Structure 1
């Protein structure tokens, strides 16, 4: 919880205390979060057991759990049809029922842990065999291409990553984009002995379960079954010594690939690093695979592949090509200093091990309990910080959303959010914040007039999308959704096979349905039941999802100081991204273009250094009580959006405030309640391991500093709580871009 010391009201209430049921509930919730004995000028944030976002996610999960565990008739009986007149219900009931049963079947299969456990790790073996099979005969660019195509279809990223998105310089056209691959662990962990120790132990345990000749807790029957399944997949069991050596080669390979990767900080200017390269040229420069065959595998077969590819990682591709090319030369010597990577023969074996383990890591979540438990120590250290998996129903709801998010979004929206009336109200609130942003842009002193004109044009063109999709696909139309998900099948063989079907559908949807087809700005990227929001600079639009627009973050009947300090702030944060260190490089149509004048850009860079230093000086406790610093450069864009979002939300509140007074039983003014509710938005609890991983990889600061940082920069906060100059929450030096 965070601390608030009651103080004199800076805005005297004009009306008596609000006594509506909504105000009573909001007051009760706030009392649970406030420590009246703490000094708000010292630290406005202290850890709490739960926070606003977690509360919403928990409630959303419960809505979806009861939906999936009931019948379609139960679902219909639990919704208010009068508020959903724009949704097809009775006129497409049969199709709606079929859609419901499809995603419910997915959920039930995921929940059937006994059936999943009975198969052990065997379902992943054919997926490994499909990749390693072509490489067993010989290792050359053609067999490597075959392996890479198969891994791409499994969404396993090893040597590089490929996406299909709008061309940054030509947003009306889809293009292939080549990027360096994601790593299994943060790059910094390779120089962290504790992390590497846990990583290695987890990998050894994982391979022991999948390939071991005598895995822990094995019965002779289980060992025989595993041996048989391995034989069927043309794979072999591994001894303890072989597993140990395989893991060592994998870590050396991944560590070496990480050393070839470019630091993302090098790419802060996307215009400078934007590059087009023809397919002919990329084949000449990087011949380690057959690029034409690879790109054709991602089209529908009848559509010609584009003439060019977009990529920003030329240095990485130069490095990886030099390394891989040496593997094709019998007498070659690789650039690596690692003993297992210096000869073609050792390099080939290391790459096979690398591919194999990356496949297992990719699919471990869909395998049996024993396999998942083997990987759990690494998840604890690098990802979650929790020693236990979330409840199975929460995981299956998440996986169902990943697989069929628009179907899940329909049933969630109808059950929890509402219809057109609610969507229109949410859009109206977004528009209020957008109008406030216009006023802020006009008064920005470090913008010169040409830049102000361009900023206003961009702000005016921001597309507002709220709650759920009404275009592609249309959440209101069961027939449209059925057609959308028709290629995705629920396998009777295994949960993993269902997941591979879902993955293939995603790849088809993201690549084969885009290349050669016109760009549609109406395609949604997120499942509406997610607790999330985003600004898409490529299409210059803001999307606020239905799953986020719920109590306690958003209650339509709440006083305006509560609405605008929570969801209003989130909206303002996302809109601010249009004008931050990333938004400066995209114009009103989403095209890469430096629309700031040189003078404005120079002024901004100087002001940005203040944020980099401020947030870089924030510290937190990592594992073993080791003090760690935030990365002010990594989090710059989000820190600016957090600070700017607070300013815009506060200004919108003040502009629209209609005189509502205090909440019952709370001696806090509307302005104080605005800041209290803002703090509640980010209350959360993290384990040290999770905090460390987030600080290494997440563009957002840790939650504590998403509260304290913006508030330290906002003079009105210090004025409201009468914080002395020089106190922790009212430092003399403040960072400001938007005022």
Structure 2
């Protein structure tokens, strides 16, 4: 299922890591709700146990106060013993107290629990006007640790871990052998079978490479054998000397490569999921004419390549090129699904990696290992077949003597050993792939919609790709409507890939195809299968995982559940972790924030009337979606059952389930070409801890997975709901009105609707924010300051400033908000404390620096601090005097929205 660019911070790498990056996500039952607001990776403190008992037993109000204050005193005594110095509260002047001392206090169990969580999070020895981050989350930072297998841990990760617990408990409770009738029971059995078949590593390891073998055999049978002997020495000779022996296990990925890999990974994942965050740089659309009369290509070879590419692409194996299907924002209707021709991606993370000798040496050895395992498997299968045939011949005709051989006898030594041949072939594959990847455009260019939107007639594309029969290729996907036009993201690639294929021998192409097959599907084999071991070795080196680190099989299988039967898992998750009332409340919060933003637009001084009017029109057109999709309908088991009706899950064939699911999802996508997207569909599963804005669809979407503490609870006071979930919602909304969102109008079409003067004024204020964030820093392992790249993080920093709209929306409710028990803070103050809590993050120095180099989001501390330093409502709430650290001089503050 296509999914778009993640957006809120840990929304990217560790938070959403799924399929690709350590990914992505799951969840805990209703009775564990109290524990869910605490960090699940540590034991409960005495304070938390006391307050949990208070919440569960609904003690009377007076007992609640006694427990809370006693717990707070315990925390202070603990701090005194830790630091050796008295710990004191810092009293700040509050300009406007909306709840006077002795005013209303929320005493529900949920308010008691969240109050306890806030008490535990605070460090009241810090001055909120000097270091608000330490004040709001210092207690949380002291009480938590980073898990050993991670480089970062924060609120987003805590929610994702808690959601995994919810899903694990659901999965463990399902009886796979239940005879219950009905769609829901059938869905649950299918869900459990996928999970249990993934966990059954004994069966997976015993099966070995066998489940993978038919895929490789198809390529060999329908195209060409790669394991030929002798291997022609005149074929595309490659001098591997420049990389051979360059890699050793002490090698670490240079920062420049890590940055390129991270950038490409984000783009590739966004492309895979269906939506890309587009560059805003103005680039003239390519008008390069296609070469419609390339060199003739042998028809027989063309037909064989067409057959094998159809087979591989149907199974989402990225070879030579690939097609992406998404809304045509440059056409007349952004909901019409169009076919886009993309350049191929390689087995290494980015183009720059193919010039790094140690990495190429490692990759060469991995490809050698992959081809060796598959060649041996093919040879074993051939021997088994020959022995079977021979046995039949002996029975019928007797032993064949003399044994058939050549005139030279059977004792001649080959020019090369099997190992030498495969090693040399692997070098040819690496060289071919390097040339292929370098023929493509840099990804930042083809993510610019103006540069990459090059429509060509399908017949012209067919003529420009002589190595493939495009009509025959497309017919294999059973299109309902044959596309007359195809969007080509980089026209120059067509000629380059055609020339490269023409001069590359079949056995090298076959080895390349099979290598890409292995890189795509080896992870679905047992962890002890040698083929998977070779691919794992590459993953470990590229991701900095300690060699031999044992995988967490439960996490691996939860990821597969999400990919294969994510909507069934989502329906189960919603039943225990998300109510219809929460869905309605979430929608109301978003709509109120949109209204606040809409009403403010005419009063933004740097935006002229024409642009403001157009922006208001776009605001009204925004479609908020909360909780779960209705296509398939998460609330109806029959709808979900129909969605997965073609998926035949077998307990002893997990690999087959993976391949089958891929074929079904791919087929569903191809059938949408030329048709309107179903508006009830989503690009994420309900259990996902993330949110997104889709420019062509004009949608801001928030799965149930992120509407969990500390982001949301329907039973919290409004100021906390707007502070945390409201901040996420305002962040996504703001993306619709930044210099990227400005490229898409209220209908999701690619059209600039800002005037030049407004765009210039926006850029000036955006640069103010970029300069401001470039002054923020993190410490490396040696204690040196490494500064944030404010230009890299600019778009996300601007989106974070949407907090002002969340605050305005809450204030517009004009509620008489109740305070929280045991916390002498006004609702305004609690609003900003609630906001800071979502950015509570612990990070190792190496990870912090790597993310500064590559992540378009600022570190958590600055996402909280930087946003609040620019917000007058915060200064007023805590009485921060002008010139204080949290209320800098006006010339150092930046305001956009």
- Pick the TM interval, shorter chain: 0.7 to 0.9
Query: Is residue 722–residue 806 contact of structure 2 (8 Å, CA) maintained in 1?
Result: yes
Equivalents in 2 of 1:158, 1:621: separation in Å? Answer: 42
Unmatched runs of 5 consecutive residues or more in structure 2: 1-38, 40-86, 146-152, 226-297, 387-415
2:584 is aligned, of 421, 424, 433, to 424
Residue in structure 2 matched with residue 333 of structure 1 by the alignment: none
Equivalents in 2 of 1:735, 1:203: separation in Å? Answer: 52
Is residue 165 from structure 1 mapped to residue 326 from structure 2 by the alignment? yes
Shift of 1:413: 0.9
Query: Is residue 562–residue 674 contact of structure 1 (8 Å, CA) maintained in 2?
Result: yes
SS at the partner of 2:883?
A: coil
Query: Is residue 260–residue 320 contact of structure 1 (8 Å, CA) maintained in 2?
Result: no
Residue in structure 2 matched with residue 461 of structure 1 by the alignment: 621
Residue in structure 2 matched with residue 290 of structure 1 by the alignment: 469
Is residue 714 from structure 1 mapped to residue 871 from structure 2 by the alignment? yes
Residue in structure 1 matched with residue 484 of structure 2 by the alignment: 307
Equivalents in 2 of 1:5, 1:133: separation in Å? Answer: 76
Q: What root-mean-square deviation, in Å, do the aligned CA atoms of Structure 1 and Structure 2 show? A: 3.9
Query: Is residue 711–residue 721 contact of structure 2 (8 Å, CA) maintained in 1?
Result: yes
Note the 1:206-355 alignment, pairs <5 A.
Answer: 208=369, 211-212=372-373, 228=380, 241=420, 245=424, 248-267=427-446, 269-271=448-450, 273-300=452-479, 303-314=480-491, 318-319=492-493, 321-329=495-503, 344-345=504-505, 351-355=509-513
Shift of 1:690: 5.8
Is residue 586 from structure 1 mapped to residue 744 from structure 2 by the alignment? yes
Residue in structure 2 matched with residue 89 of structure 1 by the alignment: none
Query: Is residue 63–residue 412 contact of structure 1 (8 Å, CA) maintained in 2?
Result: yes
User: Structure 1 pair 105/424, CA: closer, same or farther in 2 (3 Å)?
Assistant: same
Query: Is residue 381–residue 690 contact of structure 1 (8 Å, CA) maintained in 2?
Result: no
Unmatched runs of 5 consecutive residues or more in structure 1: 77-91, 214-222, 330-343
Residue in structure 2 matched with residue 486 of structure 1 by the alignment: 645
Residue in structure 2 matched with residue 84 of structure 1 by the alignment: none
SS at the partner of 2:461?
A: helix
User: Structure 1 pair 30/203, CA: closer, same or farther in 2 (3 Å)?
Assistant: farther
Shift of 1:670: 3.3
Note the 1:642-661 alignment, pairs <5 A.
Answer: 642-643=800-801, 645-656=802-813, 658-660=815-817
Shift of 1:376: 4.4
Query: Is residue 16–residue 662 contact of structure 1 (8 Å, CA) maintained in 2?
Result: yes
Query: Is residue 54–residue 684 contact of structure 1 (8 Å, CA) maintained in 2?
Result: no
SS at the partner of 2:835?
A: helix
Shift of 1:715: 4.4
Partner deviation per Cα, 1:86-130 (whole Å, 9 max, x = no partner): xxxxxx961211111111111111111111111223423332333
Shift of 1:242: 5.3
TM score, norm. by length of structure 2: 0.68
Equivalents in 2 of 1:717, 1:661: separation in Å? Answer: 19
User: Structure 1 pair 38/363, CA: closer, same or farther in 2 (3 Å)?
Assistant: farther
1:529 is aligned, of 687, 711, 719, to 687
Residue in structure 2 matched with residue 8 of structure 1 by the alignment: 92
Equivalents in 2 of 1:310, 1:613: separation in Å? Answer: 38
Query: Is residue 380–residue 689 contact of structure 1 (8 Å, CA) maintained in 2?
Result: no
Query: Is residue 44–residue 708 contact of structure 1 (8 Å, CA) maintained in 2?
Result: yes
1:511 is aligned, of 657, 661, 670, to 670
Partner deviation per Cα, 1:212-245 (whole Å, 9 max, x = no partner): 59xxxxxxxxx987962587899xx996655655
SS at the partner of 1:547?
A: helix
Query: Is residue 72–residue 97 contact of structure 1 (8 Å, CA) maintained in 2?
Result: no
Equivalents in 1 of 2:110, 2:618: separation in Å? Answer: 37
Shift of 1:672: 3.5
SS at the partner of 2:324?
A: strand
Residue in structure 1 matched with residue 337 of structure 2 by the alignment: 174
Equivalents in 2 of 1:527, 1:230: separation in Å? Answer: 44
Shift of 1:35: 3.6
Note the 1:183-222 alignment, pairs <5 A.
Answer: 183-187=346-350, 190=353, 197=358, 200-201=361-362, 204=365, 208=369, 211-212=372-373
Q: Number of residues paired by the alignment?
A: 685
Residue in structure 2 matched with residue 540 of structure 1 by the alignment: 698
Query: Is residue 712–residue 721 contact of structure 2 (8 Å, CA) maintained in 1?
Result: yes
Equivalents in 1 of 2:417, 2:90: separation in Å? Answer: 66
Q: Which has the larger radius of gyration?
A: 2
Shift of 1:411: 1.2
User: Structure 1 pair 264/443, CA: closer, same or farther in 2 (3 Å)?
Assistant: farther
Deviates most, 349-358 or 391-400: 349-358
Residue in structure 2 matched with residue 218 of structure 1 by the alignment: none
Residue in structure 1 matched with residue 762 of structure 2 by the alignment: 604
Residue in structure 1 matched with residue 182 of structure 2 by the alignment: 94
Query: Is residue 160–residue 179 contact of structure 1 (8 Å, CA) maintained in 2?
Result: yes
Note the 1:303-452 alignment, pairs <5 A.
Answer: 303-314=480-491, 318-319=492-493, 321-329=495-503, 344-345=504-505, 351-371=509-529, 372=532, 374-376=534-536, 378-380=538-540, 382-383=542-543, 388=549, 391-419=552-580, 421-452=581-612
Shift of 1:181: 3.4
TM score, norm. by length of structure 1: 0.82
Residue in structure 2 matched with residue 86 of structure 1 by the alignment: none
